[in-house]
Amino acid sequence: MAETPVLYPDDDISLIKGIGSKKKDQLEAAGISSVQDLLDYYPVKYKDRRRVINAMDAGTEKDSLVSGKLIKVTLRTLSGRRSMVECTLRDTSCIYHAVFFNMPYLKKSLVTGEDYILFGRMRIRNGARVWTNPEMSRAGGDRDIRGIIPVYRHSAGLTDINLRKWVRTALDRTDLGDDWLGEDIRAERRLAGLGFAYCNIHFPESEKHYKAARYRLIYDKLLMYQLAVRVSRSMREEGGLDASVPAVPLDDFLDSLPFELTEGQKKCIDEIMEDLGSSRPMNRLVQGDVGCGKTVVAEAAMYRCARSGMQSAMMAPTEILARQHFEKISAGLEPLGIRCALLVSGMRAPERRAVIDGVASGDIDVLIGTHAIIQKDVLFSGLALVVTDEQHRFGVAQRKTLAGKGRSVNVCVMSATPIPRTLAATVFGDMDFSIIRSMPGGRRPVITRAAGPEGREKAYVDAAGELEKGNRVYVIAPSIDSDDDDMTSVEKLFAEIKKRYPSYGAALLHGRLTGGEKAGIMEDFAAGRVSILVSTIVIEVGIDVPEATMIIIENCERFGLAQLHQLRGRVGRSDRQSYCWLINYSRSENSAARTKAMTEISDGFEISEVDYRLRGPGDLMGTMQSGNYNSDVLALSRYTDILEAAVEDADRIMADPGGTDIDHACERMIRESASDNSNII
C-alpha cells in the first residue's frame, strides 16, 4: 500500500483529498489557499455532543444526541423522482425514527441490528418522534459524531462536514516542522506545542485542552505582531534615505473645499505637514470618530506630494470603500490638475494594464484601491506617501509591503475604530498619533433606541415613517444564512422586508456578491433607486449616504460595541435627524449593559473603553460575539494577560532571539495580512 504523502504548511490546498477545482475555488473565496490557511481557519463556535440522552427526553427546541439499535430500514420512492430512507430505531426509552430525503444510497450502508448515534432536531410527526436528515454514524465506527464538534463560518458551497474532514486530514498529515518559538520561552510560559494547539482548537478533547490551545495561538499571533512592529520600527529608524516631501502652499487646495475645516482637522493636517517635511519617514495613525472627516486630511497630504512631483497610494479594505474614496478624492483633486486612478480586483485586463502603466510612468499621481495595489506587478515611479484606511484591517507587515514600493515612503493610517487608551501605545507602538475629536458643523447626534423581540415592531413602524419622508433605511443582520434559530439571517430578513414594504425598492447586500455587484447595489442605494438596504456588516466601514436616516440592527447582541458604533455611523451623515434601532434577542445582563451603553453614549472613544471592559475572553461554547474574537491583533489584544506576556517576550527576543525565528514571525504577518481570511479564535 502506498504511503500517504506528507503535507507541508505552504502546500496548495488542492493536495488534500476531496478538494477538486470547484472546492478549491470556493475555499479560495473564503481566503483559504494553503494548508496553513486551512489550519488557521478556526471554528466560530462548538457544539457539545458529549452527552447522549434518551430519545424520550429529547425536546423540539434544540438539537440532541441520541443512540439506538437500528430495527428497520425502508427506501420509498416519492413523486418527482424524490426518495426517502426511513429508519426505525429503539433505545431503552422508546422507539423513534430518522428519515433522510434524496439519499437512497444510505439504504445499502445501514445495517439492521447495529447500534447508531444520531444528532439533530426532533419533531413530533403523527405522534411519532422523528429526526429529519440528522447526522448519523455507527457507534464505535470511524466517523464518530460524538464529542466537541467545531462549527465554521460558511462560504458558498462549503459545509461543516467538508471542512471538518479536510481539517482532520490536514492535522493528520501536515509536518509543521520545528517550533518557531525558542524552547526557553515555551518552557517558561508553559505553552502547548503547535500540533497540540491546532488539534485542540479544531477538535478539543476537553475545555482544559481548548484553553491551552487557544492561549498558544493567541500568544503566537500577538508575539508575531509585536516582533514585526519592532523590526519595522528598527528599519524605519535606521532608514538612511531622505523621506521628506518639499513644502508647497496649500491655499489652492483649501480654497477648493466646499466646507470649513474643523479645528481637529486643521491640527491633524499641521502634524502631517510637519512629518512630511522631516527626512525621517512618517508613520502616523490618524484616529477619528465616524464621520469626523479624516479623508480630507489624507487629501491634503496627497496634494502636497503631487505638487512636488511625487506619488501617493491609498489602500482600503473593501472594494466598496475603495470606490467611494476614489469618487470623493478624484472629485476634489482632479480639478486641481492631480491625476487619480482606481485599482481593484476583477478589473478587465486592458483597464488594469492602463492603470499599472500610468503608475509606472508617473502619469498617475494618486492610486486608490484595495490590496490589489500591493501586487508585485504594480510599480511606482516615485511613491512618497501611503495611506491605509481602516488600518485595523491591515497588519503592520502589509503596510510595510506597500511602503516597500518606494525608496523611503511616508505612511499614514486612518481608523474610525476608536482604540482604548489602555491598548493604543502597546498595539501601535511603532506609530505617532493624531486624534480628530471635533465633528463637522450641522451634524445631529444619532438617537439610539433598543428593543427586545416583543418591541421589534416599533422599529419597523418608525422605518416606514422615514421612508414616507423620502429618506433611506439600512437593516442589518449578523449572517447570510444560518442554521441557528437564535440568529437572524440576512436572506430571511430580506424576504420579510420586501413583503413589509412592497412600495419601496429593497436590495440585498452581503459578502458572497462580487465586487461589481456590491458596487452596483450601493450605487443604486446612494442614488435613491433603492430605499432599503438589507445587509450584513459589509456596510460597517466608510459607506457614506447622507439620505440614510435610520439603521435597524437585528441581533445586536451578536456584535461588539465598537462594531455597533461603526454600523450606527452609517446614518447621521447630514443635517437630518437620524435614528438607530438595536434589536436585542439576549436576556443576559452583559448584553443588557452593552445595549444600554449604546443608547447613552455617542462618543466612539468612550464606547471603546466600555467595550474593552465588558467583553471578556469567553468560554468554549461561546459564540463569536461573546468571546471568540476575530484574530486581528486589535481584537486579540483584549486578552490583556496574553498581550502583556507577548510584549515582555518580544523585547527579550529582540535583544537575544534564543532560538526564536524572528524572520518566520515577520513572514507570517506579511502573509496573513495580505489574506482576506478572517480567522476566529
- Residue 447: predicted pLDDT: 95
- Residue 540: predicted pLDDT: 56
Checking if the pLDDT of 605 tops 80, the result is no
Find the angle CA(483)-CA(486)-CA(491) to the nearest 5 degrees. Answer: 55
Checking if the pLDDT of 475 tops 50, the result is yes
Tracing cell 463556535 back to the chain, one arrives at 45
C-alpha cell at 641: 494577560
Residue-wise pLDDT tens digits, 269-285? 999 999 999 988 888 88
Going from N- to C-terminal start, the domains of the chain cover: 13-47+149-173, 51-145, 200-235+634-673, 242-436, 447-601
Evaluate whether 375 touches 322 at the Cβ level (below 8 Å): no
Checking if the pLDDT of 220 tops 90, the result is yes
C-alpha cell at 584: 436585542
**Residue 679's pLDDT band (cuts 50, 70, 90):** very low
- Residue 582: predicted pLDDT: 96
Checking if the pLDDT of 355 tops 60, the result is yes
Rg (CA), the chain: 27
Evaluate whether 193 touches 179 at the Cβ level (below 8 Å): yes
- Residue 157: predicted pLDDT: 77
Using CB atoms within 10 Å of the CB of residue 59, give its burial: 0 to 12 exposed, 13 to 18 middle, 19+ buried: exposed
**Residue 373's pLDDT band (cuts 50, 70, 90):** confident
Domain 447-601 has CATH 1.25.60.10: no
- DSSP E strands: which ranges in 37-110? 45-49, 64-77, 83-90, 95-101
Residue-wise pLDDT tens digits, 93-116? 999 999 999 999 999 999 999 999
**Residue 394's pLDDT band (cuts 50, 70, 90):** very low
- Residue 247: predicted pLDDT: 94
- Residue 507: predicted pLDDT: 94
Rounded Cα distance, 555 and 27, in Å: 28
Q: Write the DSSP symbol of residue 469.
A: T
- Residue 441: predicted pLDDT: 67
Of 418-432, 437-451, 457-471, 581-595, the poorest mean pLDDT is in 418-432
Cβ partners under 8 Å of residue 242, min gap 6: 279, 408
Residue-wise pLDDT tens digits, 484-522? 556 778 888 999 999 999 999 999 998 788 877 888 898
Per-residue CA distances from 155 to 158, 318, 495, 591 (Å): 6, 17, 20, 28
Residue bearing the bigger pLDDT, 482 or 519? 519
C-alpha cell at 354: 492602463
SS3 663: helix
Residue-wise pLDDT tens digits, 253-264? 999 998 889 899
Torsion angles phi and psi, residue 583, rounded to 5: -100, 110
Domain 51-145 has CATH 2.40.50.140: yes
User: Among residues 475, 455, 473, which one has the least CA distance to residue 464?
Assistant: 473
**Residue 626's pLDDT band (cuts 50, 70, 90):** very low
- Residue 542: predicted pLDDT: 54
End-to-end CA distance of the chain: 38
Residue-wise pLDDT tens digits, 179-214? 999 999 999 999 999 999 999 999 999 999 999 999
- Residue 14: predicted pLDDT: 93
Rounded Cα distance, 65 and 131, in Å: 11
Give the CATH number of domain 242-436: 3.40.50.300
What share of the chain in percent tops pLDDT 70?
86
Same fold for the pair 51-145 and 447-601 = no
Rounded Cα distance, 321 and 464, in Å: 28
Per-residue CA distances from 678 to 7, 38, 251, 574 (Å): 23, 12, 43, 33
Tracing cell 522631516 back to the chain, one arrives at 278
- DSSP E strands: which ranges in 347-421? 366-369, 383-389, 410-415
- Residue 483: predicted pLDDT: 55
Mean pLDDT, the chain, integer: 86
- Residue 575: predicted pLDDT: 84
User: How far is residue 261 CA from its own chain's centroid?
Assistant: 33
Checking if the pLDDT of 619 tops 60, the result is no
- Residue 501: predicted pLDDT: 95
Helix-helix angle 515-527:319-333, to 10 degrees: 60
Checking if the pLDDT of 631 tops 90, the result is no
SS3 557: helix
Checking if the pLDDT of 604 tops 70, the result is yes
Span 298-327, mean pLDDT? Answer: 91
Checking if the pLDDT of 632 tops 90, the result is no
Of 116-120, 398-402, 440-444, 531-535, the poorest mean pLDDT is in 398-402
Question: 24 pairs with which residues across the strands?
Answer: none
Residue bearing the bigger pLDDT, 533 or 481? 533
Of 587-591, 617-621, 631-635, the poorest mean pLDDT is in 617-621
Instruction: Write the DSSP string, 10-53.
Output: TSBGGGSTT--HHHHHHHHHTT--BHHHHHT---SEEEEE----
**Residue 392's pLDDT band (cuts 50, 70, 90):** very low
Polymer length in residues for the chain: 681
Looking at residue 501, its amino acid is Y
- Residue 676: predicted pLDDT: 42
Answering whether pTM is above 0.85, one says no
What share of the chain in percent tops pLDDT 90?
52
Checking if the pLDDT of 618 tops 60, the result is no
